[in-house]
């Protein structure tokens, strides 16, 4: 749809929020970008379903706490009826965080911290991030937006032989939480290597994200701490605002946290590079969906060090940016849909070349 000024073909957006003030504020923020046009607003899920039919937007911004039909019920109906890219605008409340992760599992492609609902200059601090995420969502293919596949129900009694000490390092951005949910839910409880994750995410949600994964996976998942040892079957999520790497201390591998002014904190490149230095060929690197190129060069360093490297295939990526960049520079051995990554990791660990001789 062309903008009224005829300047360009716009990204059309439907804003769904029960607060009249927030509806207007989000509209103003988005339309400060000449390539975005808010074609309609809705007060709740019931209203939104009608307006999706009428306006046919490319992207929806969605509040979760609404009367009549809340955001989660709306998402479930939308995904059955007409899947579209949805960016959740969530509060900082613990309950809101839990609902945000549920929304991602239902098919939302991204989320942003919702500011307090009162006039303030602080509210405008989310403008650039909101615009960026809406623009990214407009690139998502609708056929990829669907409810997360069910877990296959992995049995334990997986590893009965002695294995070398190793690590699986995973990097992700937009679309990563739902892929990580599936991958960790489909690894066995007796998984013999440590796992470390760098996920681009607002700092307020990282602790809740780790707790959510812990409740859904047979493995223990927690936020990484400086000096913490990498242990078999433990999943560590990189904390926000710092660079997370691994280093050797005697016969142990531990977490090293560093301050940084880099764009991404945690950076997947930083994590992967440290894994290559510390674990060499006793490591697997997996780069999942996300915008940009963070992780591509780190994955190449891992491959050059002898690691097995995996990139999520385009067919399941919400945003095929980071994996594409890795493929283009020759960093990737296996290109796999995220639904095949858990089995492949387990198969690789069963191969003789990864066993302790």
Mind listing the domains of the chain with CATH numbers? Answer: 11-144 (3.40.50.2300), 167-354 (3.40.50.180)
Q: How far apart are CA 334 and CA 111, in angstroms?
A: 29
Can you give the length of the chain in residues?
357
Residue corresponding to tokens 């995973």: 170
DSSP symbol at 260? -
Strands 252-258, 243-249: pairing is antiparallel
The single residue of 17, 181, 200, 267 carrying the catalytic annotation is 200
The single residue of 17, 44, 63, 294 carrying the catalytic annotation is 294
> Which one, of 46, 18, 41, lies nearest residue 31 by Cα?
41
Residue 294 is a catalytic residue = yes
The single residue of 173, 217, 267, 283 carrying the catalytic annotation is 173
Dihedral pair phi/psi, residue 23, rounded to 5°: -60, -45
pTM of the full structure: 0.89
Taking CA atoms, 12 is separated from 6, 37, 42, 135, in Å, by: 14, 5, 14, 10
Question: pLDDT digit of tens for each residue in the chain (357 aa)?
Answer: 444 444 457 899 999 999 998 999 999 999 999 999 999 999 999 999 999 999 999 999 999 999 999 999 999 999 999 999 999 988 755 555 788 888 988 899 999 887 665 556 667 788 999 999 999 999 998 877 776 666 665 665 555 566 678 999 999 999 999 999 999 999 999 899 999 999 999 888 899 999 999 999 999 999 999 999 999 999 999 999 999 999 999 889 999 999 988 888 999 999 999 999 999 999 999 999 999 999 999 999 999 999 999 999 999 999 999 999 999 999 999 999 999 999 999 999 887 444 544
Q: How far apart are CA 238 and CA 161, in angstroms?
A: 30
Residue 181 is a catalytic residue = no
Q: How far apart are CA 107 and CA 127, in angstroms?
A: 23
Supply the DSSP string of 231-257, one letter for each residue: -TTEEEEPPTTSEEEEEEETTEEEEEE
Residue 122 is a catalytic residue = no
């Amino acid at each position: 749809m062309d903008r009224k000024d005829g300047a360009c073909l716009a990204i059309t957006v439907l804003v769904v929020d029960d607060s009249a003030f927030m509806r207007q504020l989000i509209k103003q923020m988005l339309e400060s970008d000449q390539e975005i046009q808010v074609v309609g607003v809705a007060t709740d899920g019931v209203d939104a379903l009608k307006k999706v039919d009428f306006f046919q937007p490319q992207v929806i911004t969605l509040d979760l706490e609404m009367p009549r039909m809340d955001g989660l019920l709306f998402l479930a109906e939308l995904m059955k009826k007409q899947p579209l890219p949805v960016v959740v605008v969530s509060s900082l409340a613990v309950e809101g965080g839990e609902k945000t992760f549920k929304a991602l599992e239902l098919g939302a492609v991204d989320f942003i911290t919702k500011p307090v609902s009162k006039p303030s200059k602080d509210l405008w601090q989310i403008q650039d991030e909101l615009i960026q995420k809406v623009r990214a969502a407009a690139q998502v293919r609708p056929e990829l937006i669907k409810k997360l596949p069910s877990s296959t129900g992995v049995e334990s009694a997986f590893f009965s032989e002695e294995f070398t000490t190793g690590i699986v390092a995973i990097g992700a951005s937009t679309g990563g939480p739902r892929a990580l949910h599936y991958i960790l839910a489909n690894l066995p409880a007796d998984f013999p290597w440590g796992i470390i994750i760098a996920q681009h995410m607002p700092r307020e949600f990282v602790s809740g994200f780790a707790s959510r994964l812990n409740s859904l996976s047979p493995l223990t998942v927690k936020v990484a701490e400086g000096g913490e040892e990498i242990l078999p079957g433990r999943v560590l999520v990189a904390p926000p605002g710092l660079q997370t790497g691994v280093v050797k201390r005697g016969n142990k591998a531990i977490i090293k946290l560093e301050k940084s002014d880099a764009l991404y904190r945690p950076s997947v490149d930083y994590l992967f590079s440290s894994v290559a230095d510390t674990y060499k060929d006793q490591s697997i690197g997996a780069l999942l969906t996300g915008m940009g190129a963070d992780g591509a060069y780190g994955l190449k360093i891992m491959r050059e060090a002898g690691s097995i490297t995996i990139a999520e295939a385009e067919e399941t990526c919400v945003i095929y940016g980071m994996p594409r960049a890795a493929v283009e520079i020759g960093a990737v051995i296996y290109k796999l849909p995220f639904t095949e990554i858990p089995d492949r990791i387990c198969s690789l660990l069963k191969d003789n070349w990864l066993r302790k001789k």
